[in-house]
Chain A
Amino acid sequence: MSRFPELVLAAALLVAPASASLAAQDAPAAGKFGIGREATPEEVAAWDIDVRPDGLGLPEGRGTAAEGMAIYDENCASCHGDFGEAVDRWPVLAGGQGTLENERPEKTIGSYWPHLSTVYDYVRRAMPFGNARSLSDDDVYALTAYLLYLNDIVDDEDFELSKENFTSIKLPNADNFIEDDRESEPHYADKSDPCMRDCKPDKAEVKMHAAVLDVTPENADDNAPQGGID
């Protein structure tokens, strides 16, 4: 305890208004509750494996396209096909370049993905499906190199991808992403009151029936379209 009781009292008076305002709020304002403990470097390293487009987070390591082919054939081809073309409805990994404006675009690593970092990161964190986190860092470099090869982004099967040359690879579709600009679309920009009476001439006419397609689970036949969500 302080040997100067009047100082303690003064300090109490100084903090009193702050306490009162805190009590008046639903929850305390910015501040520390002293809850939780420091994470150890080993713990952070075990969970923080994400990789950014600028290469931040890449581990040491390397692997060639040829090495990647062996790993791919054993671990990946049963779903993604021998050449990344996919089996059944599993995701296509290669091909489709130049199809993005088509009626049915094919979105793959080579045709659509903007960053190679995403390939490395995603394969390392979530693939193979059903046995995630089973590949070594070198395995993932080799697989990533092979996926570049399958997409004709590198043409030498001896091409070696490593932490050192990783960010020198640019994917073909890198520059085709734009920020969300939905608010500028005409139907959103126009905030005048919408029409309420006699808004369209003529009676409504059906242009498309869901029942004709007949793909709803209750009565679907085998003509169901290809997937769209994965």
Chain B
Amino acid sequence: MAERQQVLSPSRRGFLTGGLMGAAALAGTGLARASEGEEVITEIQDWNRYPGDGVDARPYGQPSQFEAHVVRKNVPWLTSDSISSINFTPLHELDGIITPNGLCFERHHAGIAEIEPGSHRLMINGLVDRQLVFTMADLKRFPRENRIFFLECAANSGMEWRGAQLNGCQFTHGMIHCVAYTGVRLKYLLEEAGVKTAGKWLLAEGADASAMTRSIPMEKALDDCMVAFAMNGEALRPEQGYPIRLVVPGWEGNMWIKWLRRLEVGDEPWEQREETSKYTDLLANGKARRHTWVMDVKSVITNPSPQAPITHGKGAMVLSGLAWSGNGAISRVDVSIDGGRNWHAARIDGPSLPMALHRFYYEFDWDGSELFLQSRAIDDRGFIQPTKEQLRSVRGPNSIYHNNGIQTWHVDGEGVVENVEIS
């Protein structure tokens, strides 16, 4: 036991030393004795001398302790309580196109339902030849597919309709995630029940205490919707609908019913609370759009951003961001460093998949002057991401949902970044 203590304590010291060294380097004093060399190199470090945890210590691995700040965050004033609420994916800390399961933003209307999979059932009823009940074991006997899609809340960026409000892309754009789903095509389940000719709409319902419901047109249901039981290779997380959720590619997150328990076929939409009171978009003339399902072409620069300032000074730098469209794949992303006066084609790296996140980069030399960073995505149907002014001129400021306007970050001479609106 004493030996064990000895092994553990030096690594704690190592953590503190490492933290101080990092801070010193940021402050620009780390190279004061550069001629003698950095201590992290010239002195033997604890992790280089003492063994670390064995393979039994972490049966389900967690991120490094030095990444403890990379977490979902809530904005308490947005909602009345945390049970029917939202939190945000830390986009500024992530790279690539896949969101780690534990960081995927959450949106619940009655908290997280904890369902034992043996007690979960999926029912298909309504205008079908046979009303059916499936167990989880049944669902896993249908042919499976793996698909990568983004899921964006209809309200993502909704707080920004009237102007710059929240300072960080986690808060302005973090109601989104993108994972690889494994599941069954909804089409196979509906065909198993036999949809009657009059069956033009589908009502999907969750098993949680909000009994979330949405009406989905049958063409979409039969086209590319899935009933997913896995994300990024493992079972869905409870907060993402364990044991099953609906996947509705390219469409607003509200329709991706979690803890899915029932699918009803009908001949008309149901006009439930979540498609009348909520998820309808009020226009300036007092009319409201309904059935605004698709999430339009959108992008955001994730680095630099207010939570990720430039700390390395002038010179070579990497600008990084995300682009996506519910209409298909992203064909191009342009980046401006002068507030939209001039644009440069960014480089899309990694897979370019329809209705999935795309990662883009733009590398340039920063001369230390003030920057106004913007990104503008174009999708493969030719839709161009609009400015916020363009959106507001047509819709007014009270739509709440579907704000895909171009985001501006102001970078000052010190590298500090702020969410702004500009002329």
A25-53 to B contact mask, C-beta < 8 Å, 1/0: 01110111101111100011001101111
Distance of A112 from chain B, by nearest CB (Å): 7
Q: Is the interface of A mostly helix, strand, loop or mixed?
A: loop
Is there a chain A Cβ closer than 8 Å to B38's Cβ? no
B residues sitting closer than 8 Å to A (CB atoms) are 73-80, 83-86, 109-110, 123-126, 130-134, 138, 141-143, 145, 155, 158-159, 163-168, 171, 185, 188, 191-194, 203, 205, 209-211, 213, 261-262, 264, 266, 268, 270-273, 276-278, 280, 282, 284-294, 296, 306, 334, 338-343, 372, 376, 378, 382-384, 386-387, 390-391, 394, 398, 400, 402, 408, 410, 418-423
Distance of B51 from chain A, by nearest CB (Å): 38
Distance of B87 from chain A, by nearest CB (Å): 10
Q: How far apart are the CA atoms of A18 and B138 in the complex, in Å?
A: 26
Is there a chain B Cβ closer than 8 Å to A187's Cβ? yes
Chain B, Cβ-Cβ closest to A29: B191
Does A33 contact B423, Cβ atoms closer than 8 Å? Answer: no
Query: 17 interchain pairs (CB within 8 A)?
Result: A43-B123, A48-B125, A50-B270, A51-B270, A121-B273, A125-B210, A126-B210, A177-B287, A178-B287, A182-B294, A194-B343, A210-B306, A216-B168, A227-B78, A227-B80, A228-B158, A229-B155
Is there a chain B Cβ closer than 8 Å to A83's Cβ? no
Chain A, Cβ-Cβ closest to B187: A30
* In the complex, chain A residues 181-230 whose Cβ is within 8 Å of any chain B Cβ: 181-182, 185-188, 190-191, 194-200, 202-211, 213, 215-218, 220, 224-230
Instruction: Please name all residues of chain B whose beta carbon is closer than 8 Å to the beta carbon of A176 when the two chains form the complex.
Output: 286-288
Distance of B367 from chain A, by nearest CB (Å): 15
Given A27-B143, A105-B282, A132-B210, does the pair A204, B339 have CB atoms closer than 8 Å?
yes
Chain A, Cβ-Cβ closest to B384: A194
Partner pick for A39 among B131, B383, B410, B422, CB 8 A cutoff: B131
Does B191 contact A182, Cβ atoms closer than 8 Å? Answer: no
Does B394 contact A186, Cβ atoms closer than 8 Å? Answer: yes
Instruction: Please name all residues of chain B whose beta carbon is closer than 8 Å to the beta carbon of A191 when the two chains form the complex.
Output: 382-384
Distance of B251 from chain A, by nearest CB (Å): 11
Distance of B258 from chain A, by nearest CB (Å): 14
